[in-house]
Amino acid sequence: MLKQLWQTRPLDSWAKCKELRFNAYQEIANAHAEGKLVATGSVGASVILPSGLGPYVHLGAEPYGASIATDPALSQLCSEAYEARNFARDTCSYFRNYLGSMLVDKFSFGGPFPRPDVIITSHICDTHAKWFQIVAEYYGIPWFAIEVPPPFHDDRIEDRIEYTAGLVYDCIEWMEKTFHKKYDDELFIEAIHNECETESLFAEVCYLNQAIPAPLDQKQLFTFYAPSAAFRYKKESADFYRFLRDEVEDRVKNKIASVATERCRLIHDSQPPWYFMGLYRILEQYGAVCVGSQYCFAFAHFDIDKDGIWKPAKTPRQMGIELKNRDDAVRFYARKTVNKPIWAGVFGLANDKSSQVLQVIRQWKGDGLIIHLNRGCEGLAGQQLETRLACQQAGIPVTTYEGNMGDKREFDEPQTIDRLESFMESLGLRKDG
């Protein structure tokens, strides 16, 4: 039996987050009855763009695919429906879950799949373009895509911002023509503030997890990241993260731990197998806590300074920036969009991805890295072995396990448990202390 080293207690924020998430998906299910526009698309860089059209809800494609993945029976039903249409099995598992849910007309949160009115999405990985083309053709609905430009060195950043801003202007003009109404810039500016406050507050929460003992573990963070990933256009999301930030600050001040036996800290790479979140409980049996991941932190708004240090980004209001009109809003939004750290891995910049993971390990005081070799996401699976090598060369212990974030058929649970337990023992950890 491991000796308890720290105090621990339940989180008041836990039930609030669950309620916020459930209510948001119920709002999507009931949107048409309430006269709201239903938009869908990737959550990468386009969630708030429909805001100028008036009351709307957004079905974020990737978080919804992850929600299905937590229910293996539903996920298999969706995957088989997708494969029955002769789509390839080796594509993004969120893609398969989402399209399968659409094809079987079954919503993960009850009732039929919510028919979207419009698709406004961002193209980031190879899957996105075909994903939403298929949805648009299936329903016969309009769609528009924002292409996120690959990251370059800083001397090209203004070009990237200009390119992205041009696409946002085009999208706004397209929405006005498609829906025969004037785009409301004030609603767009309000949505930017909601998004920025949501993402920056979540970054503060993640940043606080550098404390020893860690006030949160990765399993909790994967629950808490949902509003920032899927519902960051809502004021309620910012309000929730303000409450969570304050609670986590109190836990840090009073050394309240997520894992009472914490004596080893680990970082995880890539999405988890959503149907087997128990993998984090395996680590806890050895007194190890997973304190974060580059992937999870991608849904917070971090800035990386010239020395590579991750810091919570400031909101426009915190920076004293007033968004007075459409031009101000579009330029700010474009600059924010192109600066997300997660793009380094998705666009195949091995050195940038490795340096980011190494920095996360250092800042969050990690003792090792666990890499999910995830066949369900080609984007984030890129550069993983280069990252493993970089960590090994830096003297950081690393282990890998194979799987698929959204398809349990491609996951070997006993083998994964064996690998994790062997890794714990290689770090000198034992279940009996």
Render 21-87 in DSSP notation, one character per residue.
HHHHHHHHHTTGGGT-EEEEE-SSS-TTGGGGGSSEEEEEHHHHHHHHHTSHHHHHHHHHHHHHTT-
Whether the per-residue pLDDT at 85 is higher than 60: the answer is: yes
Percent of residues, the chain, with pLDDT higher than 70: 97
The predicted model scores a pTM of: 0.96
Which of 423, 345, 419, 420 is closest to 387 using CA atoms?
345
φ, ψ of residue 213 to 5 degrees: the values are -75, 160
Which of 237, 240, 202 is closest to 221 using CA atoms?
202
**What pLDDT is recorded for position 344?**
67
Mean pLDDT of 263-278: 97
Q: Are strands 302-304 and 310-312 parallel, antiparallel or unpaired?
A: antiparallel
Cα-Cα-Cα-Cα dihedral sign, residues 158, 164, 167, 168: negative
Whether the per-residue pLDDT at 350 is higher than 80: the answer is: no
Which of 258, 225, 272, 223 is closest to 15 using CA atoms?
223
**What pLDDT is recorded for position 345?**
63
The span from the CA of 60 to the CA of 131, in Å, is 13
Q: How many residues does the chain have?
A: 433
pLDDT digits 0-9 by tens, 157-196: 888 899 999 999 999 999 999 999 999 999 999 999 999 9
Average pLDDT, the chain: 94
What token pair was written down for 381? Answer: 């699976």
Q: What is the CA radius of gyration of the chain?
A: 21
User: Binning pLDDT at 50, 70 and 90, where does residue 405 land?
Assistant: very high
The half-sphere exposure of 336 on its side-chain side, counting CA atoms within 13 A, is 28
**What pLDDT is recorded for position 409?**
95
Whether the per-residue pLDDT at 65 is higher than 80: the answer is: yes
CA distances from 377 to 82, 258, 279 (A): 17, 29, 19
In three-state secondary structure terms, 302 is strand
**What pLDDT is recorded for position 340?**
79
